[in-house]
Amino acid sequence: MSTLTPAPARQSVGQAVDIAVVPIDDMSGIRYLHASSARRLAAGLLSDAEITAFTQHVYSAAYSTRLSDVVVEDRMTGARLSGELIGTAGWLPANDSGSTARLIGVFVSPLYARLGIGRRVVEAAEAQARRAGFSSFTIRAPLGSSDFFDHMGYQVASHGVWSLTRDVALPVAFMRKFDPPPQGFVVQLRGGH
């Protein structure tokens, strides 16, 4: 008589993904992910001219410089599946006050969209910013992604545009999220006051 052994529990794709800081060696992979994700996920939401302008922007010197600043500071979190970079979320200080972090570079490969990977990289980036002392977050979200951020606790502060070229601007929602201070949190002012 044979006995059946239960099969091991299957991991979902979202659970099988490794989340870690992205090293500088992955700059070309990050740009490729951002450009290809925008092209595929924005189809139908943005015009061909807007998608082309954004793709060109991703490969511009300005985008590369900003991206490398975030990556060099170890502020870009990546999701990998079998070694392939399939999602990113980074952050940087939004101002000199030291309390607000701005999320940037939030992209997931279209093949892996809606599997919880975006949520995981955003949560990892937020956690890293919290450990650095930030308690509120902002994002300039293309209108097609504002629902995602709404589900993550962000609220629309205003609507506007992100000028990519002299002739092309993307419609965006400027969104904010505030964390309540932890229990027993004490604000310490500089200068001993």
Average pLDDT over residues 2-11: 53
Instruction: Find the helix or strand (DSSP H, E) in which 39 lies.
Output: helix 27-41
Q: Which band of pLDDT confidence, cut at 50, 70 and 90, is reported for residue 107?
A: very high
Average of per-residue pLDDT across 16-29 = 94
pTM of the model: 0.83
Long-range contacts of 52-57 (CB under 8 A, 24+ apart): 53/164, 53/165, 53/168, 53/170, 54/164, 54/170, 56/164, 56/165, 57/164, 57/165
Domains in the chain (CATH in brackets) are 17-182 (3.40.630.30)
Residue type, 62: A
Average pLDDT in the chain: 86
